[in-house]
Structure 1
């Protein structure tokens, strides 16, 4: 079938086309006007996608995950959000919804669950492209109600988002409260052991440089060194005093009394030697001079002996002092060793106290931060554009439906015209005749109104 044949058929069957077009358009318009109107409105919420926590100041790491936006969309469309929206709007207490619930379910089940399912069917959630915003849309027959549903879902999502963040922190705060109490008890026990140990061993500090006993040990060491030096010097003087009758010892040489006695004895001996040459032994002057020499010699020997005895006594005293200092040093060393051993135990207890203090401080700090974050009312979700009641319905769209019905009616009319022609095929042109008879056409007779040129010539001849 050629295009010219198709045009001939359509021209002959135009009534079918027109009738079909009218029926389709009128039916579409009637149905569109009879359908209930549907309204749609949207609420836009903004997520704190890369913000910082207002309490702790740390960057929210969970929001940096690739599936964060998809997770938030699933939360918005969850039954928990729907139930919270039902409770916030108070729909379960409205008589109209109660009556509707009784009619549809005959009172079986929970009205909250039924309302949640109804609202979930009304709500659609879509993320904005390349942004941190979510659009919550609601569709229904009541424009005011769909606006309430959209805003109710946004509010419920905001509350649930905060609740999801706060609930783990509150549970963690309870855990840290118990841990802090246990760590406080451990700290008090460690401090009690440390105090008892210090009182038992008389220790104040673990630093032995600040200890009196250590200072005393150092002082005794210095005294022992000094006593040893003095005792060695005294022993050397004693040995010198024992040799040569003790007359060449430094103490005797440096003694002024001995030196004076030596000078007096030398004078007396000189005088006695001179008298002994001139006088007899029985002469009173001879005897007096001899008695003076003997007396001075006796005094000199007595002084030398006393000096040597003093040196020997001093040596014995110094050696005794050395022994006493050595014994005191040995006792003090043992005492210091004992204190050092006790101080080692004190160091262990001090470290236990420090460890318990650090653990308690860390747990207390975490508890304070967790309690502060758990009491936060700052949500990561903000309502950017609340929904308002729509003025115009989104469906049915009468104009669009009429345009589509015209296209559909035209296509259906053309199809019916062609089918009607195929069902009752007729010869409508010379081409059809050629196809049927398989013979050449010698000529055609034009039926209907003559060509326009004959009409013009006929009009011209009449005038």
Structure 2
């Protein structure tokens, strides 16, 4: 049963696959723990489900029968193609928004009032006062009775905070109703009937089509079919009337708008013409203004004149280069003369003659030298030819100069004209911009007028076309079998609701459960050792006191033997000095009456742990994590069992605040440990024996102790343990809890070993983790932890299937047979 804390192995088997061995371990969900938690909370989960399921069944059986009738509408009716073109009907696929719009219209107040006008159900008592189930009526009356005071208080507050209403005269209300029928008051019965219609009508789409089904549920099958058909007819009629009214209103507005647009377009055109005439802006047939065309032509002429002047200047430069050297230059030139452009035939002939003579002279000089007899003749011929060519070049130069002067004069004149035209256009720039704006406005209004006129004619054609894109697919028939109440669906929904509610409560309970219940709860949250479970033992009654023999002196201490039979029998002697005979009280030790119980086996494990720790005599403290009354009972039973087969056991009550052990034994008025600490007697004179056992008790005493008694109590206990070594085989001390008082820690500092008693299901896990975390010395002296007041039946609800604690519940017969 004892369980040691196993060392934590931080190596994850998935470390190599997920980020290497240095990463965090993979967090997984332990389904076994989930199943154990579900099994533990099964009542919490199933009880709300059963209760709500039964409530739903009662409600469904008590509800009266209802009948449902269905009619269907097709929102996108297929019409002939020619009819579609003539009527302007759009046959595109209906989006979901249009189907939702149809649902809103069918569920509106207007359509409900139209249905009431067709059926007159507001005057039908069966429709206005339908039968109700007694269950619903009882619940409604109970709720109204409970909320009646709240409603009265609310009415009083509303009466005090709302100002008094001023009633309008009857004649004024009638006149307002005649002027606007929409503000006329509605009959309360008619309003109630419309509310009932909207509450029982159901609109849904038929599959993925554009068809919509209208379903109405009522206790009367005839009323259900009548209302479903009335809704279908009313919707088709509403679509027709609404389309006709909207088209008529649109057409009337468009006619008014057409007149306005025509007048605006005419006024804009007149304004543009009047502005052009007032400012002298003459517009050509091509669309441009006269001034703009004149300026363009002047710019074109100026460009041509500039080109002509540049050409004349180039020709003049050519002739200037030719005559720059005079006749000598032509005669002594080493290269031929070339003149581009147009020239006369005479000049071309003279130029060719000159170039030919000069070329012959150059060839003769290069071949025969200057001494050749023909050189002189050719020189004379070249000089004559150069003179004639020079005269001709001079004449052509004068002609080129005249052409250049004419071109420059033309350029100057055109520049002046362009400048004057630009100045005129600049002066009229603002007028031109204004004229363009007026013309664009007139054109826009004219185009808008044409578009509006075309659309108006289409709308007039649609208004006169008697076809709608909504038609009735099927009318509702009078149902022959009831559609409700849906008993199975109601019970299933209520059961699922209760199941979810129970699972929520179970999850909350599991989240709030932070108590120590199993060995894993202790070993996983602390480094303490788990020693076992202490189930609840039956309460024992005290026996009547009877005389006891005078105790004999204790025998001298002998070497320890493994056979406990050599010790004094239980209850035969009290190991105290011969000069003292302590009083004996008849208090039963429960564990001695159940020697083969789980409780006794756990205490035997504690005994083995204490013997393994050693010490002479073994001094063991019994403490708890927090103040707990059962700790004293555990110490008492532990001491009683340890006294079986031994000389005797000394049990000391060291809890001066609670005095749980002394009160349990009825020794709270006897002197004891606190009196010994205060020096008012010897502790051996304060001992009290337990009848029929080898157990001697040192009560807590009469003094309450003070703030400075903790350290003195610990030292006194150490001195008592040392002195008791010759008379007692073991010493058990009931130590105050570890938290919140400091007395327990002060006493445990003087003890070699101690046991911690935890209240099963009440001690938080965090306390086991932190209570000794700051004191490693005490943690090494702790023998372990036992759980007290354990319910073995409930313990199995917290155990895994393979947990060894499951054998505790299965071994009851074994323990009982062993005790026979």
In which range does the TM-score fall when normalised by the shorter chain? Answer: 0.3 to 0.5
Q: Which has the higher helix share?
A: 1
Q: For CA contacts below 8 A with separation 6 or more, give which structure has more relative contact order.
A: 1
TM-score, normalised to structure 2, is: 0.26
TM-score, normalised to structure 1, is: 0.41
Rg: which structure is higher? 1
